Amino acid sequence: MKIEIIKCLEDNFSYLLINEKNSDACVVDPGEAKPVLKFIEENKINLKYILNTHHHGDHIGGNNTLKNKFSAKILASENDRERIPEIDIFLSDGQVWKDDIFEFKVISVPGHTMGHICFYFFNEKIVFTGDTLFSLGCGRVFEGSNKDMFNSLTKLKSLPPVTKVYFGHEYTLNNSIFCSKFDENNSELDRKIIDIKKKLNNGLPTVPSSIKDELDCNIFLRAKNLKEFSKLRDLKDNF
């Protein structure tokens, strides 16, 4: 399975997962259709599935066009039944879904939205975290409580450290400023920031990160309890 990073809108990441044997593909969170279409047409990809982490427009904006053009099926949380149009396959927490080489486990992560899910491709050890876990940050808590978000992040923390993290937005540099302000003397964070700046200076995305890097460097994952987490989330909301 090959992963192609497709930049969408301002700072969104969409991902094409491609079965290299037959060019079948899934797209994760197509924020808009145009750049995804461009890649599909230039590379003769067969788009079969559209995977949505949550219902926000910057993650589903391309659904309709892509579904109509390629008869792709939309997979999303059963909890987003009323909010994501034309879902074909409803997913629930803990479910394993499989088609050919695409096989993932659904991890329900309420907080940013109540229907938010992550796609964990356990064979490849890759997780798509949408707007729940960013590199060096986490999503704003729009619908759930801080407790929901804290528990959701705790679930992600238990994934194998080698797991690669593909997140929804290029917020990493900004997030790093917050982390270094409130987590001084973290040498792993210093190392990560050097790496991030190198990538960005070369015009590269900071995706993917890894669970290990985030455990070491992401202040929201380093929070020891709900109280500490909530304090950080409040500080970040006003940062």
| Cα 216 → chain centroid | 19
Q: Is 112 a catalytic residue?
A: yes
Asked if 116 is an active-site residue, the reply is: no
Catalytic residue among 55, 59, 116, 213: 59
Q: x/- binding map, residues 28-67, to Zn ion, per CB under 5 A?
A: ----------------------------x-----------
Distance, CA of 115 to CA of 135 (rounded, Å): 21
Q: Counting Cβ atoms within 10 Å, is residue 238 exposed (0-12), middle (13-18) or buried (19+)? A: exposed
Between 174 and 186, CB nearer to Zn ion: 174
Q: Which residues bind Fe ion (CB under 5 A)?
A: 58, 131
Q: Choose, from 29, 55, 116, 169, the residue flagged as catalytic.
A: 169
The residue with tokens 């669970």 is 211
Q: 220 is written with which tokens?
A: 């929201």
What are the CA-CA distances from residue 92 to residues 115, 217, 218 (Å)? 10, 30, 28
Tokens, residue 47: 């788009």
Task: Indicate the DSSP class of residue 54.
Answer: S
Residue 216 annotated as catalytic: no
> CA separation (Å) from 44 to 16, 40, 47?
13, 6, 9
Q: Reply yes or no on whether 59 is catalytic.
A: yes
Structure tokens at 38: 């461009």
CA distance 208 to 227: 29
The answer to whether 131 contacts Zn ion (rule: CB under 5 A) is yes
* Closer Cβ to Zn ion, 56 or 192, answer by number: 56
Q: Which of 55, 56, 80, 116 is catalytic?
A: 56
Nearer to Zn ion, 24 or 131 (CB): 131
Using the contact rule CB under 5 A, the part of the chain among 24-32, 33-41, 125-133, 155-163 near Zn ion is 125-133
- Name which of 80, 50, 82 is nearest 65 in CA terms: 50
Confirm whether 169 is a catalytic residue: yes
Shortest distance in whole angstroms from residue 186 CB to Fe ion: 27
Tell me whether residue 131 is one of the annotated catalytic residues: yes
Considering CB distances under 5 to 8 angstroms, the limit depending on partner class, which of Fe ion, Zn ion, none binds residue 116? none
Q: Which residues neighbour 159 within 8 Å (Cβ) at sequence distance 6 or greater? A: 120, 125, 127, 211
- Cβ closest to Fe ion, residue 131 vs residue 214: 131
Catalytic entry in 29, 80, 131, 213: 131
What residue 55 binds from Fe ion, Zn ion, none (CB within 5 to 8 A, per partner kind)? none
Q: Which one of the listed residues 24, 54, 116, 213 is annotated catalytic?
A: 54
Nearer to Fe ion, 18 or 111 (CB): 111
- Give residues in contact with Zn ion (CB under 5 A): 56, 131
Residues involved in catalysis: 54, 56, 58-59, 112, 131, 169
